[in-house]
Every structure is written in structure tokens, then in C-alpha cells.
Amino acid sequence: MKHKQIIKKMTLVDKVALCSGANFWRTKLMEKYDIPSIMLCDGPHGLRKQEVDGDIFNINESKQATCFPAACATGSSWDRDLVKEIGRAIAKEALQEEISVLLGPGINIKRNPLCGRNFEYFSEDPYVTGELATAFIQGVEELGVGTSLKHFAANSQENNRYSSNSIIDERTLREIYLYGFEKAVKNGKPSTVMCAYNKLNGTYCSDNNYLLRKILRDDWGYEGVIITDWGAMNNRIKAFEAGTDLEMPGGSSYFDNEIIKAVKCGKLSEKLVDETVERLLALIFRSYYNRNRKYSYNKQEHHLLARKAATNSAILLKNDEKILPLHKSQKIALIGNFAKTIRYQGSGSSHINPTKLTNVYEVFQGEGIDYTYYEGYKENGETDDILLREAMEGAMQCDKVIVFAGLTKQLESEGFDRETLSMPNGHNRLIQEVSKTNSNIVVVLMGGAVITMPWLEEVKAVLHMYLPGQAGGEAIVDLLYGAVNPSGKLSETYPLSYIDVPSAGFYEKGGKQAQYREGIYVGYRYYDRAGINVSFPFGFGLSYTTFEYSDIKIDMDKEEIKVSILLKNIGEVAGAEVVQLYISDLQKGVHRPEKELKGFSKIYLEAGEYKRITFYLEKRSFAFYDVESKDWQIQKGDYDILIAASSRDIRLRKRITLEGTITPAEQVHLKGTWYEHLCGKPEKEEFDKLLGWKINEQKSITRKNYTTEHSIMDMQGSYFFRIIYLLIRKYIKKKSGIIDNSDPTLKMILSSSTEVPIKNLSMLSGGKLQRNIAEGLIQIANGRYIEGIKNLLKRKN
């Protein structure tokens, strides 16, 4: 009621103004209405609070905060309680820094392993994604800090992310790309949802009435605030109609005048503006008062939590002859630059300034371990004969060899996609050469995404840390020497080669038209049904102990199905196991994966201990999205309940029969297509059949038809914009102080400045690029020089 009274007092101009930020991080302060300003902050893996209002150039300058493991790591923990605990810790730090909304978690599906931002996401599987996102949101929001579930939706690539068009059939959209969001929205109840930059089936997400109002608000009942990704607003009038509330960043007032005109002439209902303002006021007042609760967190306690998270998320991929855990009496060759310069986090908007940072080299010194260090390769991943020879000679003189390798910061980041699944050549060469001189090789991997391992057969053990956060050095030593038993499992499949990836061949060549041709067959859903050999399957991870699965029981009633099993630790040390439950639909009416994950539980057991684990399945667990009825349906018939240690390690199986609500006929229009047999790659014509409509070819961008919808990179056909590109690159280097062209931060800032539509660049600049200047530049590029110059000379509009 209070909010409605404030709205009645507000002028239209002020209501519209409140719907965009004050600057890069804050909402507008309106003292005459007693409306406070709140601050939003990056932070899926820790707080990135900039000391000043900030901009894109200061991306690595922020206050110290605990850097927890990235989502690629915590996604491998499969540990809801751990992820919730991390969320709660970050919320405490947010309270101390008077932050109202934390911009996370990021939960986009790892559709393709080349996506440069995969390190920020949990999984290729929507069930794991939704469960862990829910846990994180609950942990943060319990303390009164808001979250922002992102990026909604189908934002699974970085190349052309500002204007790419994700083309997806309705069933795939619902089952794969929206399912995790749906679980997190309904069960986690985030304060805000952040819409993505990209288009979805031809409509920008910020304008997408079907996505935001029909699905998010009407179908899922979401009542919170929808904010844009920074600079993602496309058409503010359509955005109001779709239910988008807050445009970020602020400072440009780019759309304000046209919104006011639209309301006054009846093109836009003022009621929609009022609804948006009411949602914003609810968020602002609630989070402002929570924010003002003084709080101080214990840095050491949070560092220890980061250490715990890193150990619980690590995956033991190989351990031949039980070479691990190591013994402190052994002489160790410590090889690889990462042992000293640890790769502990990703680049971009999630970059954290840690309160403390540990590496293995320093921890070894403190532990009194007998070791010798060899650099092996330079920080950029390159090596030479001298570095290789030193490492090889050192390895010959030691009992065991630990080689640190993975992905350097130059290879993955927000803002651009990877070009290959390979590690740097220097890392691969180092492992291959050292393995010739000592057979007792342990490889410790660090990096945020899938890699190929051409040396896998030549080493005895592989411990995968992903990006382990600020306590990674201590965590690695804990794991190598058995103080902690590895318990992580892969939340994404590791293919043998890129050509095996279902979206390979069109993902990396998609340009601005991202065709999701593989449909529902993402990750293990494809590999397992197609029978493709992989390096490591989804859900895989070894332990220093052994677990026995037995005694599956199923109880069925009308509302839910209860599945329980007995798990026993039959090894000699304590450890944790991730028990996975998959469902296999044995009917032939609708094309479906061989199996789909519908439950998991992480259980810690002492040696010799056993526990009964119970899963509860809803009817929705067995359903597929039926496009014709526009609802979730169940096929009548038999289903297998599979209890597994990975998607390819089924330990127990039991069959049940369901009545179902539908017995669909064979999908005739897909008969004989790739979706029936999964051989080769899906062709465009087959994808058209899946979509139910024909995709138009991408139109080439030519001079004379440039608009503010186009980016500087789009307009490189114009000599004028080629000059502008060079000037911007020079300016960015000077402003950021970065001169290395391979630096990921430089590449991200450059892509954010030159790949974004010109109108969005005006927003990202906080109004520094005025609307008349943007339009004038376009007119000049189109050869309309006089009009363009007149626009450039206009006063600020």
C-alpha cells in the first residue's frame, strides 16, 4: 500500500526515470519521495564491488572479497548444502559492503564446450543446474540480500552475444534451456531475474513478451524484478509490455523521452509503468533496510570455506596403481608455472580481488615436503627446449612427478569463445616429454572448461581442480596427500575430440544466427544415446575408497514415487559419493534421450559405514514437453529407474509402469531425420522440420543500410567505421593500461565496445555517447554526410 501511495505522488517523468539506473551500479535516489538508492554488484563467485561508481574499464579493480571456486568447480561438487553455504557467506560479505543485489548465479546450459563463459555455469544438465542454483539463491536471500538469476535465456555463446539470435524449438527450450531457470524461480525465489543480451527466436530477450511475461510471470508465477544485462535493453516500450523493469547501467536516459511521449499519446499504458515502479519500490525498500544492518564477516572463516569448497569440488579422473594419495616421505618434482602462478578464477565480470591467495609451491614449503620446482612453461603457456630439458632432468631424480597444466587466462573469458578444446601446446608438450623420463606422473588440471588430453594414457593420475578459488593451493595439497578424499564428479561430458560434440560444425560458424539444431541432445543426452565414446562421461569421478550400491526399493502412490537404495563404503578410508538417479523412457512414441538425470544425493560415509538414501520423484520427472498440447505429458508404459555412479556406470535398475496422460503417435514428420537415429550431424532442413518453420538465411550487412542496431564490427565495410574501430582500440588500451593484445580483459572490453549495437553502446557508456552522436555516425557511414554532421553538432537531447 505504501508503494502505491508513493506512485500516486510521482510524476510520469520521475516514474520513467526510476526505471533505469543512476550510474553503472546504483538505482536512482529520489529524496522528494523518500526513495533510497541501492547498489547492485557482480558476484557469482564472490563480491566484485568497485570502490567508485565504476565502468567497464575498471573491471579488475574492486574491493577485496573471498574468491570462492567458480561454478564450473562447485557444479562438480553436486553438493546443495555446500553451495548454499557459499551463498550465505557471500551474502554476509555483501551486507558488510552494503550491497543490496548480487548479480548471480549464472545458470546457462553448457551447450558447447567452446563457450568462453562456461566457467561461470554449473552444468550441461538442467536438473543439476536448477538444484544448485536454488541452493545458492536460498543461501544468499536468507540473509536479506537479493540475487539476480542470469542470463535469461538461451545465452550459450560469447561470440556475437549482444545481437545473436538463438533459434530453438519449443520442446528443447522448455526441457533444456528453461528447466533450470524454472526450478530456481519456483523453489529459490530470486529477487531479480536478469534478461540476456541475445535474441530468442528473433526477439531480443529484453523485449520478449513470450519469454518474460507469458512464461516467467504467468506460467511460473514470478513476481520479482526483471533487470537487463548491462546494456541489453533493445526497445524500452516493448520491454515495458514484456515486463522488464530495470534498465542497467544507468546514466544515459536513452529511452526516457520516447517513453514519456508514448504514454502521452496512448502508445504505452501508464499502468505498465506503474506496475514496474511498484516492483522496483518493493525491491528497493526491502533490500535497502536489509542492507543497513551492520555486519562484519570473518575473513579467515570464509577462506577456510573456500578451501572446503575447492576440495569437495575436485574430480579425480584417473588413479592407476593407486599412485594417489602421495606420502610426504617421497621426493617430488613440482613442475609447471601454475604451481606458483595458480589459475584460480576466470576473467570478466566475475573477477574477484581475493582476501588471500595460496599456491602449491608455497604450501609445499610450509609443509616441509621434499620437492624441487621446475617452471616447465611460461605464464602464457608457451615452452622451450631449455624449460623442457630442466623439467625432464628434474623428473628423473624424483620419486613422483606432479605436473600442473590446463587453460591459461588468455584462452577463456567472458566476451569471446574458445577456438579449440586443446590446452596450450606448451602444456601438452611438457606432459608428454616428462612422461618419457618418469612413469609416476600425476597431472593437476586447472581451467574453466572441457579440454582434450592427448597424453592421458602416459600418466598415472589426473586430478581436476577446475578454477578452485583463492584457497586452491591448500586444497590441492589436501587432496594429493589424502587429508581430504576427492568426491567431485563431472557435471559435463569430456568428449574425445571436438568433432564428437553434437553442435560442432554449426556452433562455431553460426555468426549472429545461433541454430540449436541438436535439439534436446545436449551433452550426455546425445553421447549416451548415440553410443559415442568419450574421455570421461557425465557424472564421473573416482575416490580413494570404494562404494557398494544395493537393495533398491520403489514405493508408488498417486502424488510421488519413492526410490531408496543402500550405499556402503567398503573401502578403508572415509569418503563421499554422489549417487545419481536417471529415468529411461522405454516407449517409442516420442524421441527421447536414453536416460535423463532426475535426482542426486551426495553422501559422506566413514569406512564400513552404510546408509539408506531416498529419492522422491514427481510425475513431472517422467514427462516431456508436448508442443501440440503446450503442456508436460507422460507416455503410458514402462520406465526404468537407474541408480548410477555416472551416466555410463549403472549400478542398480528397476522397472515401473505408468498410466500416463498421453500415448502419442509416432512423430511422423521427424521420421528418418537425425533426431531419430543421431547419425552424423543434423542438417538445416531437418532442423526446419523440428522447428515447424523455415529459417531464413542471414542477410548480409552492407553499406547504405547501417542502423543503430548494428555494431562497429558489423560496419567494417565502411572506411569511416574502420577508423573508429582503430581509435576505440587505441583508447581502450590507454584507458585500461593493458598493452598485451592477448589479454582476456582487453579482449572483453574491446568486444563490449565494438560488437554491441551502437544504441546499446550509448547505454554502456553511461550517456557519454549521446544518442544524436550515435545516429550522426551512422548517417555519415551511410553516406548522408550533411545530416550526420548536423546530428553531431546538436546539443545533448
- What are the sequence ranges of the domains in the chain? 2-50+69-156+178-291, 299-490, 547-665, 719-793
Same fold, 299-490 and 547-665: no
- H-helix or E-strand spanning residue 639: strand 637-646
Nearest to 22 by CA among 248, 206, 288: 248
- Per-residue pLDDT at 783: 83
**CA 75 – CA 467 distance, rounded (Å):** 11
Residue 60 has pLDDT above 70, yes or no: no
Question: Is the link from the previous residue into 325 a cis peptide, with omega within 30 of 0?
Answer: yes
pLDDT for 518-535, tens place per residue? 999 999 999 999 999 999
Residue 75: all three cell numbers together:
557444479
Percent of the chain with pLDDT over 90: 76
Residue 55 has pLDDT above 70, yes or no: no
Question: pLDDT grade, residue 628 (50/70/90)?
Answer: confident
pLDDT for 470-511, tens place per residue? 999 999 999 999 999 999 999 999 999 999 999 999 998 767
| Number of residues written out for the chain | 797
Higher pLDDT pick, 315 / 55: 315
**CA 97 – CA 78 distance, rounded (Å):** 30
pLDDT for 252-279, tens place per residue? 777 888 899 999 999 999 999 999 999 9
- Per-residue pLDDT at 20: 93
Residue 796 has pLDDT above 90, yes or no: no
Q: Which CATH superfamily is domain 547-665 in?
A: Immunoglobulins (2.60.40.10)
Residue 768 has pLDDT above 80, yes or no: no
pLDDT for 723-741, tens place per residue? 989 998 888 888 888 888 8
Nearest to 641 by CA among 623, 664, 622, 663: 622
Collapsing DSSP to helix, strand or coil, 30 comes out as strand
- Per-residue pLDDT at 751: 87
Higher pLDDT pick, 497 / 758: 497
Nearest to 422 by CA among 399, 403, 449: 449
Mean pLDDT along residues 669-697: 90
Nearest to 341 by CA among 428, 446, 477, 430: 446
**CA 41 – CA 96 distance, rounded (Å):** 13
Nearest to 43 by CA among 474, 449, 411, 345: 345
Residue 664 has pLDDT above 70, yes or no: no
- Per-residue pLDDT at 472: 98
Mean pLDDT along residues 589-593: 90
Least confident window among 289-303, 400-414, 449-463, 612-626: 289-303
- Per-residue pLDDT at 77: 98
pLDDT for 104-161, tens place per residue? 999 999 999 999 999 999 999 999 999 999 999 999 999 999 999 999 999 999 998 9
Mean pLDDT along residues 562-582: 98
Higher pLDDT pick, 410 / 767: 410
Residue 666 has pLDDT above 90, yes or no: no
For residue 404, report the phi and psi dihedrals to the nearest 5 degrees.
Answer: -100, 130
| pTM, two decimal places | 0.95
DSSP assignment letter at 190: -
Residue 176 has pLDDT above 90, yes or no: yes
- Per-residue pLDDT at 766: 65
- Per-residue pLDDT at 668: 63
**CA 684 – CA 736 distance, rounded (Å):** 43
- Per-residue pLDDT at 291: 60
- Per-residue pLDDT at 52: 65
Higher pLDDT pick, 161 / 698: 161
CATH of the domain spanning 299-490, picked from 3.30.1330.10, 3.40.50.11540, 3.40.50.300, 3.40.50.1700: 3.40.50.1700
Contact status, residue 149 vs residue 181, Cβ threshold 8 Å: yes
Instruction: Work out the mean pLDDT of the chain and round it to a whole number.
Output: 92
Collapsing DSSP to helix, strand or coil, 151 comes out as strand
Question: pLDDT grade, residue 667 (50/70/90)?
Answer: low
Residue 161: all three cell numbers together:
552475444
- List the catalytic residues: 229
Residue 586 has pLDDT above 60, yes or no: yes
Question: pLDDT grade, residue 782 (50/70/90)?
Answer: confident
- Per-residue pLDDT at 778: 86
Mean pLDDT along residues 443-469: 97
Strand partners, 642: 582, 653
Class of domain 2-50+69-156+178-291 as given by CATH: alpha beta
Collapsing DSSP to helix, strand or coil, 235 comes out as coil
Residue 216 has pLDDT above 60, yes or no: yes
Residue 716 has pLDDT above 90, yes or no: no
**CA 355 – CA 161 distance, rounded (Å):** 32
Apex 391 CA angle, 390 and 395, nearest 5: 120
Residue 12 has pLDDT above 70, yes or no: yes
pLDDT for 320-367, tens place per residue? 999 999 999 999 999 999 999 999 999 888 899 999 999 999 999 988
Mean pLDDT along residues 615-633: 93
Contact status, residue 744 vs residue 753, Cβ threshold 8 Å: no
pLDDT for 422-452, tens place per residue? 999 999 999 999 999 999 999 999 999 999 9
- Per-residue pLDDT at 237: 94
Strand partners, 618: 560
Contact status, residue 79 vs residue 602, Cβ threshold 8 Å: yes
Question: pLDDT grade, residue 577 (50/70/90)?
Answer: very high
Q: Which residues contact 685 (CB under 8 A, 6 or more apart)?
A: none
Reduced 3-state DSSP string for 320-353: HHHCCCCCCCCCEEEECHHHCCCCCCCCCCCCCE
**CA 38 – CA 290 distance, rounded (Å):** 11
